[in-house]
């Protein structure tokens, strides 16, 4: 199986890639001094005691950016095969791709108009 042999390499890479950077961490864990105390381990907060829960509520803005990104990311699922086969396709493929991209840019234009892209 040609394809599996290819991916055996990638799989091995996925298994070994975390190990290499982990080596210095482990080494440091062995070598470095360990004298923990409460003040040292306190959460960094400019010298003030932490107030309240860390998981404070954040702006919905971040979610909206994530949302637009998700849509464009899924778009890639279709655009990559399209671009891949593009040279062997006829002019109709261009029109299909154009319509696809146009429909999606609509969403971007809407977000722009509604000032979703405005950082507040």
Partner 1 sequence: MVPLWMYLTVAAALFSIGMYGVLARRNAVAVLMGIELMLNAVNLNLIAFWRYLTPFNMSGQAFAAFVLVVAAAEVAVGLAIIIAVYRNRQSVEVEDVDMLKG
Partner 2 sequence: MNFGEGLTPEAFAFGLFTILTLGGALGVVTSLNLVRAAIWLMLTLFGIAGYFVLLSAPFLASVQVLVYIGAIGILFSFAVMLTRGMTNLKERFNDQWWLAGLAALTAFVLLMVGVIVPAFGNSGAPVSDQVTTTVDLGVALVSGNQYVLPFEVASLLLTAAMIGAIVIAREDD
Partner 3 sequence: MQCDNIINTLAPCLVQSGWNGDLANFASIFLGVIILATFPLLVTIVLIWFERKFAARIQDRLGPNRVGPFGLLQPFADVIKLLGKEDITPAGADKLIYNIAPVMMVMSVLLIWAVVPLSPIHVGMDLEIGALYIISVASFGTLSVIFASWSSNNKYALLGAFRVVAQLISYEVPLALSLLIPVMLAGSMSLVDITQAQAGMWFIFVAPLSAILFFISSQAETGRAPFDLLEAESELVAGFNIEYSGMKFALFFAGEFMHVFTNGVLMAVLFAGGYIGFGGLENSIPLLGIVFLFLKASVFYMLSLLIRNAIPRVRIDQLMNFNWKFLVPVSIVNVVMMAFLLKVVQALGIAPTPELANDFVANIPQTLVLFAGNVVLGLLVMNTVSSRIRKERLQESANRAIVPMGAGD
Beta strands in 23-107 (DSSP E): none
Chain CA centroid to CA 39, Å: 34
Measure the CA–CA gap between 79 and 97, rounded to whole angstroms.
8
Measure the CA–CA gap between 57 and 98, rounded to whole angstroms.
40
Site for partner 2 in 66-85 (CB under 8 A): 66-71, 73-78, 80-85
Site for partner 3 in 3-22 (CB under 8 A): 3, 5-6, 8-10, 12-14, 16-18, 20-22
Of 31, 51, 57, 118, which one interacts with partner 2 (CB under 8 A)? 57
Task: Say whether residue 51 binds partner 2 (CB under 8 A).
Answer: no
Closest alpha carbon to 71 in 111, 104, 119, 114:
104
Query: With CB cut-offs between 5 and 8 Å by kind, which of partner 1, partner 2, partner 3, none does residue 47 bind?
Result: none
Measure the CA–CA gap between 92 and 72, rounded to whole angstroms.
23
Residues 24-63, mask of contacts with partner 3 (x by CB under 8 A): xx-xxx-xxxxxx-x-xxxxxxx---x---xxx-x--xx-
Cβ 104 vs Cβ 69: under 8 Å: no
Q: Which residues are near partner 2 by CB under 8 A?
A: 1, 3-4, 7-8, 11, 53, 55-58, 60, 62-64, 66-71, 73-78, 80-86, 88-89, 92-93, 96-97, 99-101, 103-104, 106-107, 110-111, 114, 116
């Amino acid at each position: 199986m040609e394809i599996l042999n290819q991916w055996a390499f990638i799989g091995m890479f996925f298994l070994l890639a975390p190990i290499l950077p982990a080596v210095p961490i482990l080494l440091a864990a062995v070598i470095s001094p360990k004298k923990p105390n409460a003040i040292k381990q306190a959460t960094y907060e400019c010298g003030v005691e932490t107030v309240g829960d860390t998981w404070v509520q954040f702006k919905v803005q971040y979610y909206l950016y994530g949302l637009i990104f998700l849509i464009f990311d899924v778009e890639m699922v279709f655009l990559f095969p399209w671009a891949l086969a593009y040279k062997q396709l006829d002019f109709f493929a261009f029109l299909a791709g154009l319509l696809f991209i146009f429909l999606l840019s609509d969403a971007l234009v809407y977000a722009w108009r509604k000032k979703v892209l405005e950082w507040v």
